Structure 1
């Protein structure tokens, strides 16, 4: 090694030592050098911590039913098996911003009334006789129904049928926890008092007509409709598929909308349904929102990132943010999806790319 090289190495070592001494003196004062962490804070593109994952309903269902023998819905307050992404053990997160779980109500049970600042949604999976009461109105929940619980609205659930009822829960808990704004409150009774007949919200706001007054804003930015029946959703998707060729990337997709302003149904979580006809395969695309997908009907394959999952009815699959995804249907498929897209759009973060 030349004398010049020795001098250069010595100089480099001295510089590193000097800088490290500086960093060591910053740490006790709760300071850090941005230039040492900038590349990690500002990567060239998003890197999702969430990983692709599938919960097969046929495997999870026996455990969900077993929980019904262990404790009552009232004891648990909410008898739910949390769907934890393997990348977030113990954090109750399916994606970075969305909590998901499978809730069970047995015949004759009531999940006590409460309210909380996180917004919630339900996607009904199985059973007859389940209901949700929101803000003084009850709605019967049938398979495939998309049911909403607005932020800070009292709600309770029950089962007046003869068999178990189960649904997928989705909440924005991780997002609300990030802002450190989680509040909750119990009701003064197990069930809330009903003040409106069943179907009132759908009649007022879900028939392409609206009240003349501003009552449509009863839940702020959340839609005043809190049950979007699957029968209507499926009918609309099938009719739309007949009207024009499926989109190469989206197949036939319709989003659930707030009838008051035409926007998304909730301020923090977007929801939509995709219909992929038998034999159709979508081209790959990716977006910045991590998606929780639940199969309403059909069988096929979903590829997300480097994973391919064979799906069946009621399966739940996580599609991580900024991971390429595509669908291939072996049977006519109806795929329910939720994400934080609406929040990203409002903040100007949302991006998508189509291959």
Structure 2
């Protein structure tokens, strides 16, 4: 075989280094072959026969690894940052990103997905800005912060999912006397890799008309009615026009699925496993062009079937406890913990939720993934292992 190196060759100035090694299906190592490879190096050329095993493997080999981040630890560190790190122009947000241990220290949970805990102190504002990265907020605990998107104040409460398509102005304000933390999800790594990102500063502060605390945002009043599409409304060109998906509706859908199953009418993805996908009320598509969001409820004692998917995902435990297995690794997880599932790694979850660690006696999991990207490119595959 032939090995390719990308270290700079000080003699030729080329970053390409080729070393001929004898092996099945490889050319015979001769002085002529060595001379040919030196010519490739000078012209910045890499032959396929030296790279096919890495470029075209039999199945995805993710650069990311499975990993768990503990919510209690994240929460404690975020609270310390609240005392030490200001929110304002420059840092913009007190957001602390998850860094997958195999991605070289980059602030990426997976090669395509960003996840972070954001923390806002009492009375604080996070200044207005906008970016092409598609984003969402998911609240695992607390209330009292309003995110202001395009001038529309949107309340954030436990269990709420708040998507926000790219290039929308947005700021946050904490109207209470308590700090609040939530998770942010964005497609930052994907846009960074494709060199497509833009960012723009907005106003340093929001106006008095936006510093209000309505129970429902204007987007909810217009778009938040199940099965009903407002004829007068013109939705954004991409992304959901609904800025908040309330926990009460998510929880009711999951509860009803499991009740229907017990009554013998089906409705779950597998026995004891209820699931929903957040979609746009405009056309039923994913809430964001590059991010899919779902919520899964696994009844106590149930273990989900192993599933592999192309693309990666990040989960947060919303409620309950259980054991998650990703590839060869297994962890016990509880409320707030986050974990990454790399591409084509088999994933299972076993619910061990009880009365002391859950409200509903189930393992509740919020999930987001890069599935819309892979589906749009015809690269999405799913396989259930038996």
Q: Do both share a fold (TM > 0.5)?
A: yes
**What is the aligned partner in structure 2 of residue 165 from structure 1?**
180
How is 1:114-129 mapped onto 2 (pairs within 5 angstroms)?
114-129=129-144
CA apart distance, 1:133: 0.7
Whether 1:241 aligns to 2:258 is yes
- Number of residue-to-residue matches in the alignment: 342
Q: 1:210 aligns with which of 219, 229, 245?
A: 229
Please point out which of 225, 237, 256 is paired with 2:242: 225
Please tell me whether residue 90 in structure 1 is matched to residue 105 in structure 2.
yes
Shift in Å at residue 203 of structure 1? 2.2
How far did residue 34 of structure 1 move? 1.7
Return the TM-score normalized by structure 1.
0.92
* Runs (5+) with no aligned partner, structure 2: 1-25, 354-361
After superposition, residues 155-304 of structure 1 pair within 5 angstroms as 155-191=170-206, 194=210, 198-207=216-225, 208-213=227-232, 215-216=234-235, 218=236, 220-244=237-261, 245=266, 246-248=268-270, 251-304=273-326
Equivalent residue in structure 2 for 1:154, among 164, 169, 188: 169
Q: 1:13 to 1:165 in 2, by over 3 A?
A: closer
Alpha-carbon spacing, 1:22–1:110, altered in 2? closer, same or farther (3 Å): same
Partner Cα separation in structure 2 for residue 150 and residue 139 of structure 1:
15
Corresponding residue for residue 43 of structure 1? 57
Change in CA separation of 1:15 and 1:86 when aligned onto 2, cut-off 3 Å: closer
Distance apart, 1:13 and its partner CA: 9.8
| SS in structure 1 of the partner of residue 157 of structure 2 | coil
Paired residue secondary structure (1:242): helix
Query: Tell me, which stretches of 5 or more residues in structure 1 are unaligned?
Result: 1-11
> CA 1:18–1:40 in structure 2 vs 1: closer, same or farther (change >3 Å)?
same
> Which residue number in structure 2 is paired with residue 111 of structure 1?
126
- Greater Cα shift, 225-234 or 68-77: 68-77
Deviations 1:29-70 (A, max 9, x none): 222212211221111111111111101111222111000011
SS of the residue 1:74 aligns to: coil
The question of whether the paired residues in 2 share the 8 Å contact of 1:249 and 1:284 is answered with no
Pairwise CA distance, 1:202 = 1.5
Contact 2:164–2:288 (8 Å) recurs in 1: no
The structural deviation recorded for 1:15 is: 4.2
Structure 2 partner of 1:6: none
CA deviations over 1:260-282 (Å, ceiling 9, x no partner): 11111110000000011111111
Q: Does the aligned pair in 2 maintain the 1:268–1:343 contact within 8 Å?
A: yes
CA deviation string 1:204-243 (max 9, x = no partner): 2121212224512x2x220001111112111111111111
Cα shift at 1:77? 1.2
Residue matched to 2:345: 323
Counterparts of 2:200 and 2:143, CA distance in 1: 29
Match of 1:4 in 2: none
Alpha carbons of structure 1 residues 13 and 201: separation in structure 2 relative to 1, 3 Å:
closer
**Given the superposition, is the C-alpha separation of residues 166 and 253 from structure 1 closer, same or farther in structure 2, using an over 3 Å criterion?**
same
Given that 1:80 and 1:101 are in contact with CA atoms closer than 8 Å, whether structure 2 keeps it comes out as yes
Please list the CA deviations of residues 142-192 of structure 1 after superposition, one character each: whole Å capped at 9, or x if unmatched. 011111121000000111111110011111011111221111111133226
1:14 positional shift: 7.1
Cα deviation for residue 250 of structure 1 reads 8.6
* Alignment partner of 1:27 is 2:27: no
TM-score, normalising length from structure 2? 0.84
Aligned in 2, Cα 1:32/1:212: closer, same or farther, shift over 3 Å?
same
Q: 1:14 to 1:337 in 2, by over 3 A?
A: closer
Verify the 8 A CA contact 2:298 2:363 in the aligned structure 1: yes
- 1:129 aligns to what SS in structure 2? strand
SS of residue in 2 equivalent to 1:126? coil
The answer (yes or no) to whether the contact 2:272–2:302 under 8 Å persists in 1 is no
Indicate how the Cα distance of structure 1 residues 328 and 13 shifts in structure 2: closer, same or farther if over 3 A, else same: closer
**2:19: which partner in 1?**
none
Q: Show CA shifts across 1:92-149 (max 9, x none).
A: 1101100111000000000100000111111112222111011120111001111112
Residue by residue over 1:272-320, the C-alpha shift from the partner in whole angstroms, topping out at 9 and shown as x without a partner, is 0001111111111111121100011111111111111111111101111
